[in-house]
């Protein structure tokens, strides 16, 4: 993992802050209390959340919200994480707005999900506990110096427990304890399974009882089947008799149906005769009425036909129309002349109109109008006379047509009466024939009733037998159902026995597993743990001794660790009390222990060559020792090392120097120029 950028807002003494991390050795230099360690705590908070840290120790006093955003690279992925703190009440602060961005794709997560995601990305194989720090991060990347000194000062058992925890050797102990618990649990189940073998004899006895009952029921089925054979034979005999009777009844039923048809025909013929007789009576009355009507018609033939009269009338009316037209024109002209005479002067030519010629012309016109009027009157009189003649001719022709209608109706009535009389004669003959046939059908009806009673009697007997057969079959079905139930019980009981046997075999198999766990697996874990522990102790001892010798140039002094990782200082082959070391030597001892542990934990976690964070690593160092820190760190061949210190002498060891200053109670970070 390589850090790239850190942004702070309202975190401890920072109102705003942003850091862009380069590769190499980075020094955050500032006075004690300037806010250097806050950068490290904020980084750890961004990655893993609060852990066992209190939110009140991170959020700035008097602020209701704060946030941290960290960008880093790991395994070729660009990752950005964001966490915020929100004050709910004076004493209650909670995490909100947690998200992670991987190669530009953002995920909104809960605090616990964030930590799980980060551990997965970093490849830290450790349990997800949101209320604890990351063990691998704390011992492989960043351990506060006071915590390292505290490890050295702890009792042997506690220090050993811490080392085991850092090296994750506790997992082997947990695995052994879990294996013992599993073995204990498996033994409980194995004993339960094996004990169930005692139930098998009872179940086998139950199967024998079921088999006995099943055999008794099978005997009953045989008895029922024998009775059913006899019943089926009787049923077949009755069904055959009924079949013969049914055929005879169907034939007789045909005769009965004929009788019904004959009676219907008989009634229909009689109804038809009555109807025909009533029609003859009606026709006789109608014939008499028509003959009287015929005698009352008097025919007087006119001189001309109606068509001839119509033609003459049309010609005279045409002549009358011409006379009326001429009369109208002459009358209009006369009126115009009379108007001129009154005016005495012609308005067109302005000549006098009272001269003899004009007056003679007017008199001639009056005479001509009078002649036309007489002629018109004569024609009107002639038209009236022709209309009278036309009326008489029309009456004649109407009477002729009426006589023709009467004669036609009389011919129809005579024809119908003839047909009615012939039909009555034919129907009377058929009625006599029907009487004979009806008598024959009545005898067939008597025979049908006798056969029907016989059929019903046999049918009742058959129904009784069918009911008996049905009851026998129901009883057979019930017994078969009981047999199937016994089969099912036998099957289920046998399955239960098989399951018990499987459990017993499983129990015995579990006992084999228990033996393997207790005699092979757990001892193997103990040996593996011991080998890893001894290898780690040997590697740790080598690194611890090398780092200490590098920082303390005293050939008479050397360091080592015992089997419990307790540091031992040797001077000229004699053990030297740690309390008698100088302050710088004690710091060198703690730093050597810290770097050795860091290297071993990184190696075990598979994260070598990445990031290392050192918090105040040179407390009590001489200037010469401080000067060697850069060379020592470079020898570790790490991509990025972050040192937090108030020692300005470390500036010569750093590639980049960030100044941290507190101004008016607020921390500020000054990037390198």
Element at 560 (helix H, strand E): strand 557-561
Q: How many whole angstroms separate alpha carbon 369 and alpha carbon 362? A: 11
Total length of the chain: 673
Q: How confident is the model at residue 123 (pLDDT cuts 50, 70, 90)?
A: confident
Using one digit for the tens of pLDDT, what is the confidence trace for 497-517? 999 999 899 998 999 999 999
**pLDDT for residue 353:** 64
Q: How many whole angstroms separate alpha carbon 535 and alpha carbon 124? A: 21
Is pLDDT above 80 for 622? no
Residue 30: closest CA among 623, 664, 663: 663
Q: Is the pTM of this model over 0.85?
A: no
Is pLDDT above 90 for 18? yes
CB-based contacts of 288, cutoff 8 Å, min separation 6: none
CB-based contacts of 16, cutoff 8 Å, min separation 6: 8, 9
pLDDT mean over 565-580 = 85
Q: How many whole angstroms separate alpha carbon 524 and alpha carbon 520? A: 6
Q: Which burial class, exposed, middle or buried, applies to 448 when counting CB atoms under 10 A from its CB (0-12, 13-18, 19+)?
A: middle
How many C-beta atoms lie closer than 10 Å to residue 538's C-beta? 11
List the CATH code of the domain at 2-153+552-670: 3.40.50.300
CA dist 197 → 185, 202, 493, 497, 505 (Å)? 20, 10, 14, 9, 10
Element at 163 (helix H, strand E): helix 156-166
Tell me the two tokens of residue 7. 């942004």
Of 158-167, 348-357, 529-538, 549-558, the one with minimum mean pLDDT is 348-357
DSSP 60: P
Q: What does pLDDT average to over the chain?
A: 85
Residue 69: closest CA among 86, 45, 89: 45
Using one digit for the tens of pLDDT, what is the confidence trace for 63-115? 999 999 999 999 889 999 999 999 988 888 988 889 999 999 999 999 889 99
User: Rounded to the nearest 5 degrees, what angle is found at the Cα of 148, between the Cα atoms of 27 and 85?
Assistant: 65
In angstroms and rounded to an integer, the radius of gyration of the C-alpha atoms of the chain is 69
Is pLDDT above 90 for 591? no
**pLDDT for residue 261:** 79
Contact 10, 647 (CB under 8 A): no
pLDDT mean over 468-493 = 91
Contact 167, 536 (CB under 8 A): yes
Residue 80: closest CA among 49, 97, 50, 103: 103
- 106's torsion region: left (phi>0), alpha (psi -120 to 50) or beta? beta
How many C-beta atoms lie closer than 10 Å to residue 201's C-beta? 10
- 51's torsion region: left (phi>0), alpha (psi -120 to 50) or beta? left
Sheet holding 640-645, edge to edge: 142-144, 611-615, 640-645, 24-29, 656-663, 666-670
**pLDDT for residue 146:** 67
Is pLDDT above 80 for 284? yes
**pLDDT for residue 349:** 66
Q: What is the dihedral of CA 245, 246, 248, 253, to 10 degrees?
A: 140
Q: Which burial class, exposed, middle or buried, applies to 369 when counting CB atoms under 10 A from its CB (0-12, 13-18, 19+)?
A: middle
Backbone angles phi, psi at 141, to 5 degrees: -120, -55
Q: Which residue has the higher pLDDT, 301 or 190?
A: 190
Residue 584: closest CA among 634, 625, 537: 625
User: C-alpha 65: how far from its chain's center?
Assistant: 43
Contact 550, 559 (CB under 8 A): no
Residue where the block lists tokens 């506690």: 158
Residue 517: closest CA among 268, 202, 178, 210: 178
Using one digit for the tens of pLDDT, what is the confidence trace for 224-253? 989 989 889 988 888 888 888 888 878 777
pLDDT mean over 611-620 = 83
Q: How many whole angstroms separate alpha carbon 641 and alpha carbon 629? A: 12
Domain boundaries, the chain: 2-153+552-670
Q: How many whole angstroms separate alpha carbon 228 and alpha carbon 134? A: 86
Q: How many whole angstroms separate alpha carbon 268 and alpha carbon 172? A: 117
Tell me the two tokens of residue 546. 């090398």
Tell me the two tokens of residue 641. 């090392």
pLDDT mean over 361-383 = 82
Contact 46, 6 (CB under 8 A): yes
Q: How many whole angstroms separate alpha carbon 644 and alpha carbon 616? A: 6
Q: Which residue has the higher pLDDT, 302 or 407?
A: 407
**pLDDT for residue 72:** 94
pLDDT mean over 391-416 = 84
Using one digit for the tens of pLDDT, what is the confidence trace for 432-454? 887 877 777 777 777 778 888 88
**pLDDT for residue 103:** 94
**pLDDT for residue 338:** 78
DSSP 303: S
Element at 211 (helix H, strand E): helix 200-295
Tell me the two tokens of residue 177. 């304890």
Q: How confident is the model at residue 350 (pLDDT cuts 50, 70, 90)?
A: low
Contact 514, 165 (CB under 8 A): no
Residue where the block lists tokens 């119908």: 416
Q: How many whole angstroms separate alpha carbon 527 and alpha carbon 294? A: 151
Q: How many whole angstroms separate alpha carbon 384 and alpha carbon 393? A: 14
Q: How confident is the model at residue 666 (pLDDT cuts 50, 70, 90)?
A: very high
Give alpha helix (H) positions in 304-355.
306-343
């Amino acid at each position: 993992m390589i850090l790239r950028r850190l942004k702070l807002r309202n975190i401890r003494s920072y109102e705003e802050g942003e850091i862009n991390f380069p590769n190499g050795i980075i020094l955050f230099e500032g006075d004690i209390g300037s806010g250097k360690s806050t950068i490290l705590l904020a980084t750890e908070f961004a990655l893993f959340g609060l852990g066992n840290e209190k939110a009140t120790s991170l959020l700035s006093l008097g602020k209701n919200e704060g946030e941290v955003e960290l960008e880093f690279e790991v395994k070729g992925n660009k990752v950005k994480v964001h966490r915020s703190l929100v004050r709910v009440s004076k004493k209650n602060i909670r995490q909100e707005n947690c998200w992670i961005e991987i190669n530009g794709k953002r995920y909104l997560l809960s605090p616990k999900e964030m930590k799980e995601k980060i551990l997965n990305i970093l490849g830290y194989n450790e349990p997800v506990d949101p209320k604890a720090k990351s063990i691998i991060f704390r011992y492989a990347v960043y351990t506060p110096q006071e915590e390292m000194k505290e490890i050295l000062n702890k009792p042997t058992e506690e220090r050993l427990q811490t080392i085991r925890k850092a090296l994750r050797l506790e997992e082997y102990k947990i695995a052994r304890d879990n294996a013992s618990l599993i073995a204990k649990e498996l033994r409980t189940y194995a004993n339960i399974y094996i004990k169930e073998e005692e139930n098998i004899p009872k179940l086998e006895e139950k199967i024998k009882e079921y088999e006995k009952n099943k055999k008794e029921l099978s005997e009953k089925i045989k008895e029922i089947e024998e009775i059913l054979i006899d019943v089926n034979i009787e049923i077949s005999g009755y069904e055959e008799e009924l079949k013969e009777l049914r055929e005879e009844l169907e034939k007789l039923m045909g005769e009965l149906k004929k009788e019904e048809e004959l009676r219907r025909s008989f009634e229909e013929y009689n109804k038809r005769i009555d109807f025909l007789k009533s029609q003859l009576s009606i026709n006789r009355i109608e014939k008499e009425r028509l003959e009287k009507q015929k005698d009352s018609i008097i025919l007087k033939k006119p001189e001309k036909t109606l068509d001839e009269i119509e033609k003459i009338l049309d010609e005279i009316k045409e002549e009358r129309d011409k006379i009326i037209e001429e009369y109208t024109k002459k009358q209009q002209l006369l009126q115009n002349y009379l108007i001129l005479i009154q005016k005495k002067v012609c308005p067109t030519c302005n000549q006098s109109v009272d001269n003899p010629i004009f007056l003679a012309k007017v008199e001639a016109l009056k005479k001509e109008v009078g002649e036309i009027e007489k002629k018109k009157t004569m024609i009107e009189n002639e038209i009236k006379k022709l209309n009278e003649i036309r009326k008489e001719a029309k009456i004649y022709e109407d009477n002729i047509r009426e006589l023709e209608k009467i004669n036609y109706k009389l011919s129809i009535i005579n024809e119908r009466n003839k047909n009615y009389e012939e039909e009555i004669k034919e129907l009377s003959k058929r009625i006599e024939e029907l009487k004979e046939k009806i008598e024959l059908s009545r005898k067939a009806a008597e025979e049908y009733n006798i056969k029907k009673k016989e059929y019903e009697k046999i049918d009742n007997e058959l129904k009784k037998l069918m009911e008996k057969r049905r009851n026998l079959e129901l009883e057979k079905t019930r017994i078969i159902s009981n047999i199937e139930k016994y089969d099912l019980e036998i099957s289920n009981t046998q399955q239960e026995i098989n399951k018990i046997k499987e459990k017993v075999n499983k129990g015995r198999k579990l006992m084999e597993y228990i033996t393997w766990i207790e005699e092979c697996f757990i001892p193997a874990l103990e040996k593996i743990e011991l080998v890893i522990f001894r290898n780690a102790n040997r590697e740790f001892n080598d690194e611890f001794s090398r780092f200490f010798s590098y920082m303390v140039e005293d050939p008479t002094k050397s360091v080592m660790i015992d089997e419990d990782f307790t540091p031992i200082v040797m001077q000229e082959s004699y053990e030297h009390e740690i309390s008698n070391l100088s302050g710088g030597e004690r710091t060198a001892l703690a730093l050597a222990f810290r770097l050795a542990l860091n290297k071993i934990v990184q190696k075990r976690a598979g994260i070598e060559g990445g990031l290392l964070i050192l918090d105040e690593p040179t407390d009590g160092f001489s200037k010469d020792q401080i000067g060697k820190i850069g060379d020592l760190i470079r020898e570790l061949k790490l991509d990025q090392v972050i040192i937090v210190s108030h020692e300005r002498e470390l500036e010569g060891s750093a590639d980049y120097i960030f100044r941290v200053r507190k101004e008016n109670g607020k921390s500020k970070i000054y990037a390198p120029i």
